[in-house]
């Protein structure tokens, strides 16, 4: 049985691309837009948690 993710959970590739875009925004804006950078960083952390959970699940299945 294939495990699907909910519509609000991005695909692995989408999450990686979003992290990359947010990282570029943080680097570009720097401290000039601290609140925006802070929000972007929180989103990056959430996306990384999703990706880590998926990688853990894949490793568990492969074992």
Residue 56: inside a domain, yes or no? yes
What is the tally of structural domains in the chain?
1
- Domain extent, residue 36, equals 32-62
Residue 43: inside a domain, yes or no? yes
Phi/psi of residue 57, nearest 5 degrees? -65, -45
Tens digit of each residue's pLDDT (9 = 90 or more) over 8-42: 778 888 888 988 888 888 788 776 777 777 788 88
Q: How confident is the model at residue 1 (pLDDT cuts 50, 70, 90)?
A: very low
Cα-Cα-Cα-Cα dihedral of 53, 26, 36, 20, to 10°?
A: -40
User: Are 18 and 41 spatial neighbours (Cβ–Cβ below 8 Å)?
Assistant: no
Residue 22: inside a domain, yes or no? no
pTM: 0.56
Outline where the chain has alpha helix (H). 12-29, 34-62
Residue 51: inside a domain, yes or no? yes
- Alpha-carbon distance of 57 to 36, in angstroms, equals 32
User: Are 36 and 29 spatial neighbours (Cβ–Cβ below 8 Å)?
Assistant: yes
């Amino acid at each position: 049985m294939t495990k699907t993710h909910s519509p609000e959970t991005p695909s692995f590739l989408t999450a990686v691309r979003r992290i990359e875009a947010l990282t570029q925004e943080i680097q570009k804006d720097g401290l000039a837009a601290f609140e925006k950078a802070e929000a972007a960083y929180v989103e990056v952390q959430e996306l990384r948690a999703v990706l880590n959970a998926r990688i853990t699940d894949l490793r568990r299945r492969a074992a």
